[in-house]
Amino acid sequence: MDKGQPEYVNWEYILWSTVMRVKLENVPNVHLNVPSTPFGFFSIYDKKFCMIHGGGIKMTYRTPYYGLESAHKEYNDIFSDLDQGRFDYLLLGHFHQPASLNDNKIKICGSTVGYHPWSMSALRKYCRPSQKMCLVHKEHGIVEDRDIYL
């Protein structure tokens, strides 16, 4: 990642762009959306999802989860003002620990690498390499989520 690149050129963008190009471009029924903005919006049925990295969410007392509920509300307010509409679910990474919070309206993905110097030094936590998979029901939204261990 060179200096002077657009803001969206981060680890996730490079990783998933490469995965799409190298591994998944000819696989039927698989679609990856790699946004070129600091956030991504998509819908499944009539449920709206917002994806962000999560790096801008402040930690309080060395615990990052304190800022997530207010971030969920603040991002919804911002995106409403920008005519993006309100979203039902906030999906993010950055914290290197899979979690479901705020009545399952906030989903945190694990880390593709597991051990990471930031997670060990700042959070003193380790998690097996994982990504989150969610099952979405047409009427009820996310009805199940699982951590897929890599």
147 touches 98 (CB < 8 A): yes
pTM of the model as a whole: 0.75
Q: 4-22: per-residue pLDDT in tens?
A: 777 667 666 777 777 777 7
* CA-wise closest residue to 79 among 58, 54, 50, 37: 50
Q: 19-77: per-residue pLDDT in tens?
A: 777 777 778 877 767 777 778 888 999 999 998 888 777 766 555 567 788 888 888 89
| Residue 82: predicted pLDDT | 80
| Residue 58: predicted pLDDT | 73
| Residue 37: predicted pLDDT | 75
Confidence label for 144 from pLDDT (cuts 50, 70 and 90): very high
3-state helix, strand, coil in the chain (%, to 5): 25, 25, 45
Q: H/E element holding 139?
A: none
| Residue 12: predicted pLDDT | 67
Enter the tokens of residue 8: 């969206």
Distance of CA 137 to the CA centre of its chain: 19
| Residue 7: predicted pLDDT | 66
| Residue 60: predicted pLDDT | 62
Q: 99-128: per-residue pLDDT in tens?
A: 888 888 999 888 777 666 666 666 566 678
| Residue 116: predicted pLDDT | 66
Confidence label for 98 from pLDDT (cuts 50, 70 and 90): confident
| Residue 40: predicted pLDDT | 81
